[in-house]
Amino acid sequence: MRRSSPYLTSTQLQAHCCDFLLPFLQLTPFKRSLTPARLLGILLCAAAWQASLAFVCALLRDAPSDQTVRNALRAQLQDHEDLQRRLNRALQATCRQLRRRKKGYPLAVDLTYLPYYGKNHDDPEVVRNKPKQGTKRFQVYATAYVIWYGERYTLAFTQVEQKESLAVVLKRLLRQARQTGVKWRYVLLDRGFYQVDCIRYLQQAREPFLMPAIVRGRQGATAAQCGGTRRFAAQKRSGFYEHRLQNRKKRVATVRICAHAHNHGGKKGKHGRYVWLYAYWGLQLRTARAISATYRQRFAIESSYRQLNQGRARTSSKDRCLRLLYVGLALVLRNLWVWWHWEVCSVRRRGRRLLRLELLPLVAYLLRLAQIVQEELGGIKDIDLTPPNSRPQNANR
């Protein structure tokens, strides 16, 4: 989209968003009062306000009832795998311009845990984990995220089920990310992927990777008396080593271990030295400082999860498709926001483009989308102060 005017209006943002999303969601008319565009508009309002469908429908004057909206979504979004496939296609379409870089990008892979407060504990998509936000049960999503200046897109996402190995999740996620046509140089992973099966899959797929190594092994008074990866950390100095892992099924994987030593320097009242351990394969980095600096890029994916929650509608429903729709829609909206900043709001100059993120924050982008929908649905209702006993029985709400 070329800038024919120095001003960017909310109407342009909303029209671009609807024209992009409708072909992928494939919404059909449910009633005369609930067209695909109006249904999508209600979903955008729920995402922008971080609210439920009941809240949005009760607030807007000409909106249909929340039950009608739920019935329309359930009638059209019944296949969980097909919905996930369509949302991934939408993510792929938002990052087509990334294909032009031949050298490849750094790719980050991580898991995000969304709290689940329902009582349906036998649901295969409800995963137990450490207590957080008042619950031990979560719905888990894995995402693949490109780390590059101004073009930080989410390439793919997938839902993690109970008792599903992370190696299977990683394989499925990278397969979906390859369908975008985007090339990456290496994969940055969280310490949860420090497993024999994950390492063996990445090596067989010829995917260079970097992840933290978990300190395990026998404790001892000296480094020579320690076992496992603990002996690398006990030396209190930087270095490179080779380590052999073995799981309970006697499967073996061999990786390179980088130990990066630091001094506390009195920070937080601590003194002495501490060591960070990294497991890597296929990377041509010669210093421990370069390994540590490369891995620091991975923390950019955490900002995508914060922005995911800023554009995710809320629900207490047990419908797995509805929950998946809210997560996928939030990721697509975030990618569209990144596209607007890079293609329209940025200033081209010699060297890197000048990004002007202050022009359109993510929350402002979402509220502008909701503003047009709010006007189309008659605005916000007035508050009726009439006592309940004196209201006519057939009065409209």
Structure tokens at 326: 């809210």
DSSP string, 313-361: -------HHHHHHHHHHHHHHHHHHHHHIIIIISB--SSS-B--GGGS-
At 208 the pLDDT is: 96
Instruction: For 312, list phi and psi in degrees, rounded to 5.
Output: -105, 125
pTM attached to this predicted model: 0.91
pLDDT, tens only, 201-242: 999 999 999 999 999 888 888 888 888 899 998 988 999 999
CB 325 within 8 A of CB 77: yes
At 397 the pLDDT is: 47
Per-state percent for the chain, helix, strand, coil, to nearest 5: 45, 20, 35
What are the structural domains, with CATH classification, of the chain?
10-76+346-376 (no CATH), 83-303 (3.90.350.10)
At 162 the pLDDT is: 87
Structure tokens at 219: 């404790």
At 295 the pLDDT is: 95
Q: What is the pLDDT along the chain (397 residues), one digit of tens a residue?
A: 555 568 899 999 999 999 999 999 999 888 877 899 999 999 999 999 999 999 999 999 999 999 999 999 999 888 999 999 999 999 999 988 787 777 889 999 999 999 988 776 677 888 888 898 888 889 999 999 999 998 999 999 999 998 899 999 999 999 999 999 999 999 999 999 999 999 999 999 999 999 999 998 888 888 888 888 999 989 889 999 999 999 998 999 999 999 999 887 667 767 778 899 999 999 988 899 999 999 999 999 999 999 999 999 999 888 889 999 999 999 999 999 999 999 999 999 988 899 999 999 999 999 999 999 999 998 898 887 888 777 666 555 4
